[in-house]
Structure 1
């Protein structure tokens, strides 16, 4: 069993809170700038409404005590709406730190290996929430606090992106608690109920923050995205550049590393400076490390630059974790099917779904290309994740993700997949990230007896989260019968556009979560958003599709455009830096 929390641990958590709450905001923008009201009374009424929204449904101390506390923290009436949001963020961050300590303290009560693992998952997930709330607070800089002045050149675009960041981080911080509690599935529920109680207040406070964000966004002057390119991005936004500009020029050390042969690439690289490989992984000892895990563990923490790990061909039987502090890691293999990372953990084997991943990445700015990540547990093993992603602004290029049930766990934050291959049986693209899969092969595999095939199980639980999955220009091979998705949570959101749908896609297209359609999942049929736009192929006909209120056969390009790289994941702000080819907009307008 894990030891109970110590006073030293509690001190470290409190210190983390202090550091996050007082973090420098030098790179932040003045979010929600330019708000104006017709009168002082209108402004004060809006601020009061924000205060009450921040304290909606709180249990600790009651709503009025919460309002009074936040009113003092924001500097009193007339200080403006943004200080209200900032005060609420600080309050929620404190709740997150307290919840993490409370759950850690429950570890001594676990009496089963699955419970112990679930508690460890919860501590890690609540750590994610602390990080994400801290990032959001850091983005809440005022003009004059070292942030960008509202009228400075480029300030509108910077502020818009800071507001998008805020939205993404708050959306992620809301979902972590759900995953924490779900980890206790398969236990007697005794400890799960205590964990639920420990995180319930945090979940409510983050939901309140998302509602406040929506209110502020609704009255903020419209900011337009900067003038676009021709709609294509990548290495210097060149549509003909098929590969990222990573060159396999290896930094030798002690005669151990050798220069791998680069793959053929187009002559034009957009003038990008070649990127030097930092370390090589090779099973035969010709690299610096023999395992991917060791190379990741030895990579610098909190790196500001891309740190490139080149993995030679071979099958690496290991489970790899790229933790939050391992930022800007780039993992380069020798090709799909050539460099393979393989594991076999599963729920049936005693693991939580969260911990079953063969490869799990949380460090921001992660990039992977030319490799395969595989879970071999099999179709009858239930949940068995190949790849779990909690890395903000992460990109995957020519990566095969292979498994059966729950293959790709796009758990949280902004993700992009290009020219990849994802294979599975049931809910094999799932989670609550903000993900675009572009020109990716989605392959269905034979089902185990009694199973019903479904590609997605998207887990958006709050209408104010900006999460969802967009499949753009993909091939849903559907060699075996499948549905495009089913609603894991009430506000599940999936859009499939300009994609080929194979013969195995069932005429109804989408599936209820449970056959009974009872409870929360019956409501989901009205609150979800499932859309299809200009798809083609034998499974693309919409005449026989479900008639749910939340299903949409999209005919307006403007609606579909909300789910493009440009709009859905703000890809123009960060994908060029990954070197991964992308198309920013719809192929046809």
Structure 2
């Protein structure tokens, strides 16, 4: 195992957490083992997240805990996606794995940055100081060495079907909308988040949902969770359909939670 670990950016963490495993026969085997170890440590970090739930003593600690809880859950989701996807190359390419692993690692850094912004780094340290970042970095490096050239068709990734490609290229996408959002009440909803929540709740199957957002200024902080896939929003143009929020670090929110349009693992 020493040889394999010496090829990673963080060999000591690799040796500590993979030392008891069998010696891999090839690099793909080593990749799977590395991701599984990263998953185990992420699940351990999630236990710390739950332990901290009842120890939030301020608004800032609560805000950072809420962010980090979502982010750790999403890291676990991304690692699980990678492990399951790599079992069959039909559902997961090396590029897909690199994207998911990169997201998993970015989540942890986002949690850390939020705690610095609101000056509660010590409070959140049990979550971010258990070597998960180093182990995911190792997984990224191992997978990076296995990457081939990604195939594309007409500017879209190879996994985008011909039907989906034609739909996304359609100049009349708004006319095909399942739901319409309008500030003046002329649509199905006045709020974008309400339309998204309803569309996902009422979804049957895994077909694409199109939401047309008419011109107007929408003062919302929109959050998209992992079950909100196959979702397309189309507006009336850059100057006409405007989404804006007013959260900031100065008002007690981290940069992550102040995003006007954000993607997370689950709702708080």
TM score, norm. by length of structure 1: 0.39
Report what 1:322 is aligned to: 224
Which structure carries more helix by proportion? 2
In the alignment, which residue of structure 1 is the partner of 2:165?
A: none
Match of 2:128 in 1: 196
CA distance in 1, matches of 2:150, 2:214: 41
Query: Deviations for 1:20-39, whole angstroms, at most 9, x for unmatched residues?
Result: xxxxxxxxxxxxxxxxxxxx
Distance change in 2, residues 1:65/1:325 (3 Å):
closer
CA contact (8 A) 1:52 1:67 kept: no
Task: Determine the C-alpha separation between the residues in 1 that align with 2:16 and 2:40.
Answer: 19
Residues 204 and 114 from structure 1, CA distance in 2 versus in 1: closer, same or farther, beyond 3 angstroms?
same
Q: CA deviation at 1:137?
A: 0.7
Aligned counterpart, 1:211: 141
Is the alpha carbon distance of 1:228 and 1:354 closer, same or farther for their aligned partners in structure 2, counting shifts above 3 Å? Answer: closer
In structure 2, which of residues 193, 196, 199 is the aligned counterpart of residue 296 of structure 1?
Answer: 196
Q: 1:225 to 1:353 in 2, by over 3 A?
A: closer
User: Contact (CA 8 Å) 1:309, 1:332: kept in 2 or not?
Assistant: yes
* In structure 2, C-alpha distance between the alignment counterparts of 1:48 and 1:193, rounded to whole Å: 29
Equivalent residues in 2 for 1:174-573 (5 A)? 174-185=105-116, 186-197=118-129, 200-217=130-147, 244-249=170-175, 276-300=176-200, 304-362=206-264
The reply to whether residue 56 of structure 1 matches residue 56 of structure 2 is no
Gaps of 5+ in 1: 1-46, 142-146, 149-157, 218-222, 237-242, 250-275, 364-589
Within 2, Cα distance between the matches of 1:358 and 1:165?
A: 26
Q: Which has the higher strand share?
A: 1
How much has 1:341 moved relative to structure 2?
1.9
Partner of 1:377: none
Could you list the per-position Cα deviations for residues 352-411 of structure 1 after superposition, in whole angstroms to 9, with x for gaps in the alignment?
111111221358xxxxxxxxxxxxxxxxxxxxxxxxxxxxxxxxxxxxxxxxxxxxxxxx
Alpha-carbon distance between aligned partners in 1 of 2:240 and 2:186, rounded to the nearest angstrom: 17
Greater Rg over alpha carbons, structure: 1
Matches within 5 A, 1:47-196: 49-50=3-4, 56-58=11-13, 63=15, 66-68=18-20, 70-71=21-22, 79-141=25-87, 147=88, 162-185=93-116, 186-196=118-128
State the Cα distance separating 1:228 from its structure 2 match.
Answer: 6.7
Q: 1:295 to 1:81 in 2, by over 3 A?
A: same
* TM-score (norm: length of structure 2): 0.80
Which residue number corresponds to residue 37 of structure 1? none
Alpha carbons 1:129, 1:172 under 8 Å: kept: yes
Change (3 A) 1:189 1:93: closer
Displacement of 1:188 in angstroms is 4.9
In the aligned structure 1, how far is the partner of 2:238 from the partner of 2:262?
A: 18
Q: Which has the higher contact order (CA 8 A, sep 6+)?
A: 2
How many residues in Structure 1 have an aligned counterpart in Structure 2? 253
Deviations 1:110-169 (A, max 9, x none): 21111101011001111121111111112222xxxxx35xxxxxxxxx69x701111111
Residue-by-residue CA offset, 1:531-583 (whole Å, 9 max, x unaligned): xxxxxxxxxxxxxxxxxxxxxxxxxxxxxxxxxxxxxxxxxxxxxxxxxxxxx
Query: How far apart in 2 are the matches of 1:89 and 1:225?
Result: 21
Q: Please, which runs of 5 or more residues in structure 2 have no aligned partner?
A: 163-168
Paired with 2:144 and 2:100, the residues of 1 have a C-alpha distance of: 14
Give the alignment's Cα RMSD to 1 decimal: 3.2
DSSP-derived class of the 2:233 partner = strand
Once residues 188 and 87 of structure 1 are traced to their aligned partners in structure 2, the CA distance between those partners, rounded to angstroms, is 34
